[in-house]
Amino acid sequence: MRDPHTTVQSEDYQTVMATEFDVLVDANPPAGMPPVIALMVTPVKDEKFIMPMRYEAAAEIAQHILRTLSSVAPHLLLDMLQK
């Protein structure tokens, strides 16, 4: 398993590039813990990992992804809206 504290070199991107992912939600966490959304990522060459985040962080990431897609691949957004 890859050390999560190291930087992934560009030539090693496949160790973390997702072949698939699932969105996990814990809307009712234990008392004192915030609700979280997590991505369970299945990379090309490594083991699955889970990246939990607060709802606010998930919303910020979603906005960044949408802005990026609208700049570099607007046809993907159009396809998504038409489904």
Query: In which domain, by residue range, is 72 found?
Result: 10-82
Give me the pLDDT at residue 80, please: 84
3-class DSSP assignment, residue 19 = strand
3-class DSSP assignment, residue 32 = coil
How confident is the prediction along the chain (83 residues), in pLDDT tens digits per residue? 556 666 656 666 666 678 898 999 998 889 998 899 999 988 887 788 899 999 999 999 999 999 998 999 999 988 988 88
Q: What's the half-sphere exposure (Cβ side, CA atoms, 13 Å) at 63?
A: 6
Is 1 a member of any domain? no
Is 4 a member of any domain? no
Is 38 a member of any domain? yes
Give me the pLDDT at residue 18, please: 82
Is 5 a member of any domain? no
> Residue with structure tokens 């083991």?
47
Is 35 a member of any domain? yes
**Residue pLDDT, tens place only, 4-24:** 666 656 666 666 678 898 999
Is 73 a member of any domain? yes
Task: Count structural domains, the chain.
Answer: 1
Is 51 a member of any domain? yes
Is 27 a member of any domain? yes
